[in-house]
A and B are shown apart, each in its own frame.
Chain A
Amino acid sequence: MPLIKCEHVSIGYEGQTVVKDLNFTIEKGDYLCIVGENGSGKSTLVKSLLGLKNVEEGRITFGDGLRQNEIGYLPQQNDTQKDFPASVYEVVLSGRLNSRGFSPFYTAEDKKEAKEKMKLLGIQDLERQCFRDLSGGQKQRALLARALCATKSLLLLDEPVSGLDPIMTGEFYQLIRKINRDSGIAVVMVSHDIESAVEDATHILHLQETALFFGTTEDYRKSRIGRKFLGGVHDGNDL
């Protein structure tokens, strides 16, 4: 059973359809990259996957033990956090809220989990640091640790490397690859960066209002649309 299954999904704003008749599935351990130009419906799709926006037609079903509020979400950078007084630990721990339900306080297990994720991402020394004093790369790691606290099976990353310099970007991709391979957590990444996308991803969803392409990366490289967007640089022999 797939983690997420989208069947004939259409999503829109005030009568205007942004995404229509979209079909795809995400299986355990997949690394799916959603690519497409600005305004192609990527952000809208993310909102619907998270349950923040209703679909107009079709349906999104969750399986294999994944519930909608257990997606580990890494949002795009947001302005209000720039001067927010919060320690890294407070931020990471807030990822455990979805397993709290009505109980108002975190358990010892929640705290242990938060510390483990910080260690995994190499930010355990920043525990007491103020979030606003972190570098761009450190912020992304902290938010990734929070996302990992919220999920056991699926990460959803929305333009995670925008605003990072090339070195940090490389490190971040490496980190995601490691998490995906070592712990079998499925990764869904929305990205502009189509070149890097095909390096790491197992599957590609090329979105342009509907799915221009959905399948394995290998097939994408061979497909007409894939070759067009990759500019003929990769012809399949690169592997």
Chain B
Amino acid sequence: MMETIFEMFSYPFMVRAFTVGALVALCSALLGVSLVLKRYSMIGDGLSHVGFGALAIAASLNMAPLAAAIPVVIAAAVLLLRIKGSSRIKGDAAIALISTSSLAVGVMVISMTTGMNTDVYNYMFGSILAMSEEDVILSVVMAVIVLILFIFFYHKIFAITFDETFAQATGVKADLYNTLIAVLTAVTIVLGMRMMGALLISSLIIFPALTSMRVCRTFKSVTINSAVISVVCLAAGITVSYVWATPAGASVVMANIAALLIYSLIGLVRNKG
């Protein structure tokens, strides 16, 4: 057991995968609590598809993938929030429109340039080998920013998540914080998607929050639990992926499903007791 773990961490790519993965899991869990409670769960899914399209175009133009994808996904995040606020196209339909469009554009671009190859497969389902030195630095910087902002604005985030109208009435700039959450979510998704895969990254946002809500009954405990569950599931998933050579993204989601089932059971037993 210990031997496997030591062996695992002797590979630099595994250390990178663990570092980036854990930080992305932490950030997405914190942001996820607010997103899930505000009924914005699907935004994560939409943004990851936009990210896929942007990465495909960046690759075909030989641009740095992150530098190209991050601004595009941030723009999409802000746009999606605006649409939810006021528009003739309803929020859920708008997200489906944008995500399928970006997926189609991405697939077209790839098939016209490099052809459908393992790159596409990796973008869709993720690869544990994908993390570079640059990604590690970027994810550390992002995690520090998300953590600081989250702690600093924790009570305001609670207020706008619980009751946006009341929060606005008492002088909290809800639009500003909503945009902030959207931007941070966008960056988190772009960082995580090459490891988790465009189709699976949104699970990191949704699962931990839903899992901890089965058992926890205060906002604070839901938040802390989500963060812990998310990081633990990520570590478990990546270890499984290393030991049995399963795809990283799917393994992490499996770990999250297991956690959700366990917490649901605990919740059930507790409610009966």
A146 contacts which chain B residues (CB < 8 A)?
166
Q: Which residue of B lies closest to A100 (CB)?
A: B155
A51 to B173, CA, bound (A): 12
Task: Tell me if A98 and B219 are in contact (CB < 8 A).
Answer: no
B: interface residue count bin: 20 to 34
Asked if A183 CB lies within 8 Å of chain B CBs, one says no
A146 to B151, CA, bound (A): 22
A130 to B153, CA, bound (A): 22
Q: Does more than half of chain B's interface fall in helix, strand or loop, or is it mixed?
A: helix
Task: Tell me if A104 and B170 are in contact (CB < 8 A).
Answer: no
Most buried by B among A70, A85, A146: A85
Task: Tell me if B151 and A104 are in contact (CB < 8 A).
Answer: yes
A75 to B153, CA, bound (A): 23
Task: Tell me if A87 and B165 are in contact (CB < 8 A).
Answer: no
Task: Tell me if B165 and A75 are in contact (CB < 8 A).
Answer: yes
Asked if A81 CB lies within 8 Å of chain B CBs, one says yes
Asked if B163 CB lies within 8 Å of chain A CBs, one says yes
Task: Tell me if B155 and A104 are in contact (CB < 8 A).
Answer: yes
Most buried by A among B153, B167, B168: B168
Q: Known: A84-B37, A97-B155. Contact between A51 and B169, CB under 8 A? A: yes
Task: Tell me if A94 and B169 are in contact (CB < 8 A).
Answer: no
Shortest B181–chain A CB gap in Å is: 15
Task: Tell me if A80 and B218 are in contact (CB < 8 A).
Answer: no
Asked if A90 CB lies within 8 Å of chain B CBs, one says yes
Q: Which residue of B lies closest to A147 (CB)?
A: B166
Contact with A along B201-244 (1 / 0, CB 8 A): 00000000000010011111110000000000000000000000
Asked if A50 CB lies within 8 Å of chain B CBs, one says yes
Asked if B171 CB lies within 8 Å of chain A CBs, one says yes
A104 to B177, CA, bound (A): 14
Q: Which of A47-90 contact B (CB under 8 A)?
A: 50-52, 68-71, 73, 75, 78, 80-81, 83-87, 90
List chain B positions with a Cβ less than 8 A from chain A.
37-39, 151-156, 158-159, 162-163, 165-172, 213, 216-222
List chain A positions with a Cβ less than 8 A from chain B.
50-52, 68-71, 73, 75, 78, 80-81, 83-87, 90-91, 93-95, 97-98, 100, 104-106, 128, 130, 133, 146, 150
